[in-house]
Amino acid sequence: TKKIILDCDPGHDDAISIILAASQPSLEILAITTVSGNAEIEKTTINALKICDLVSLSGVAVSKGASEPLIRLRETAPGIHGDTGLDGPELPEPSRSWSDEHGCDTIIRLVKESKVPVTILPTGPLTNIALALLKAPAIKDNIEEIVLMGGGTFGNWTPTAEFNIWADPEAAKKVFDSGIPIAVMGLDITHQALATKEVIDQVQKIDNHVAKIVGELLVFFASTYKEMFNFAGAPVHDVLTVAYCVAPELFKMKEVNITVETKGEFTAGTTLIDLHGVTGRKVNAKYGLELDVEGFWSFMIEALKKF
Ligand code: BDR
Ligand code: CA
């Protein structure tokens, strides 16, 4: 089994990532750490706790992480995820609270304690990961890989920047410059994973409570994507990080150098993905180019049937 930490800002696609991870016997979730992103930190943390209840992850600690980016002002995404960060389904109030430890300290502690290298899956702004690396740089040596959702050769929040990277570019730069192996699910590949009407139909046909909630999450997510971007479905961005850990054969990746613009007047938060090796800078990431779309959705559907 792979030992993983989910660092997230649920968020519809973050929530579905937690659900997918919970369904996989080959993954051991060491903890869920939360960050402010799609909504303020209390909201994303409560949402994570609600999803843990839904999929019976009662033994997994949920640690509340950074409430603000490293140096910038916080901005959230209610237009995409609603005011709660997880609008759509009615979920009961969480049965427990978050742990006393800050998210970045949970990351540091668990990575230090683990006898085998840990894989970290950030699906929100990279603030907690950057804080952990600033506080305890030596944890690098016991991180197997960071599999993150963020960036792209185009943007969704500014013309050139994707939301997670844009929300905390300084944190993202710290992570990309860290030397830790990184796999990146950017918009180029996450936009291939569209939960269309046909996909949602398939999910809704599955006869269990978890699949029913996932269906409701997808319906809401698809409606805001229709409204904001006129998409024919919702791209389930974050879910690709978990899928990649379990079924990497569904992904065509390319080794590249990626760096983050932190200074540009119009381009802060842009990822510079050197697909053609024009910079001569050293490879520091694998970048997702192409998804086996059919394979991905059948993997998802099979996973949801297990609940
Ligand atoms: C990313 O931003 C958030 O809205 C999603 O949860 C995803 O992590 C996509 O740009
Ligand atoms: Ca997210």
Average pLDDT value over all residues in the chain: 97
Q: Is the CB of 47 under 6 A from ligand 1?
A: no
Q: What ipTM is given for this predicted complex? A: 0.99
Kind of pairing, strands 2-8 and 118-122?
parallel
pLDDT value of residue 171:
98
> Which ligand has an atom closest to residue 157 CA?
1
Band of pLDDT at residue 69, cut at 50, 70 and 90: very high
pLDDT value of residue 290:
98
Percent share of the chain, pLDDT over 70: 100
Give the residue from 4, 8, 3 showing the smallest Cα distance to 164: 8
pLDDT value of residue 233:
95
Which residues lie closer than 8 Å to 183 by C-beta, 6 or more apart?
Answer: 145, 146, 147, 148, 244, 253, 285, 286, 288
**Relative to the CA of 11, which ligand 1 atom is closest?**
6
Kindly list the catalytic residues.
237
Cα gap 80→265, rounded to integer Å: 25
Band of pLDDT at residue 27, cut at 50, 70 and 90: very high
Q: Is the CB of 164 under 6 A from ligand 1?
A: yes
Q: Which residue's alpha carbon is nearest to atom 4 within ligand 1?
A: 38
Mutation test residue for ligand 1: of 126, 129, 238, the one with most atoms within 8 Å of CB? 238
Q: Is the CB of 237 under 6 A from ligand 1?
A: yes
Handedness of CA 193, 150, 240, 87 (dihedral sign): negative
Instruction: Tell me the CA–centroid distance for residue 165 and ligand 1, in Å.
Output: 10
pLDDT value of residue 236:
98
**Which residues are near ligand 2, the ion (C-beta closer than 5 Å)?**
9, 11, 14, 123-124, 238
| Span 250-302, pLDDT tens digits | 999 999 999 999 999 999 999 999 999 999 999 999 999 999 999 999 999 99
* Token couple for 150: 């963020």
Cα gap 26→46, rounded to integer Å: 26
Query: What is the mean predicted confidence (pLDDT) over 84-89?
Result: 97
Give the residue from 93, 150, 161, 148 showing the smallest Cα distance to 120: 148
Query: What is the mean predicted confidence (pLDDT) over 175-190?
Result: 98
Q: Name the 3-class secondary structure at 152.
A: coil
Q: Is the CB of 14 under 6 A from ligand 1?
A: yes
Q: List the beta bridge partners of residue 61.
A: 31
pLDDT value of residue 214:
98
Q: Is the CB of 38 under 6 A from ligand 1?
A: yes
Helices (H) and strands (E) in the chain, counts: 12, 12
pLDDT value of residue 237:
98
**Relative to the CA of 123, which ligand 1 atom is closest?**
8
- pTM for the full predicted model: 0.98
pLDDT value of residue 307:
97
**Relative to the CA of 14, which ligand 1 atom is closest?**
6
pLDDT value of residue 258:
98
pLDDT value of residue 204:
97
Q: How far, in Å, are 23, 115, 123, 246 from residue 3 at the CA level? A: 14, 10, 17, 12
Mutation test residue for ligand 1: of 80, 237, 240, 270, the one with most atoms within 8 Å of CB? 237
Instruction: Tell me the CA–centroid distance for residue 11 and ligand 1, in Å.
Output: 7
Instruction: Tell me the CA–centroid distance for residue 38 and ligand 2, in Å.
Output: 7
| Span 125-172, pLDDT tens digits | 999 999 999 999 999 999 999 999 999 999 999 999 999 999 999 999
Query: What is the mean predicted confidence (pLDDT) over 39-54?
Result: 98
Mutation test residue for ligand 1: of 123, 129, 157, 168, the one with most atoms within 8 Å of CB? 123
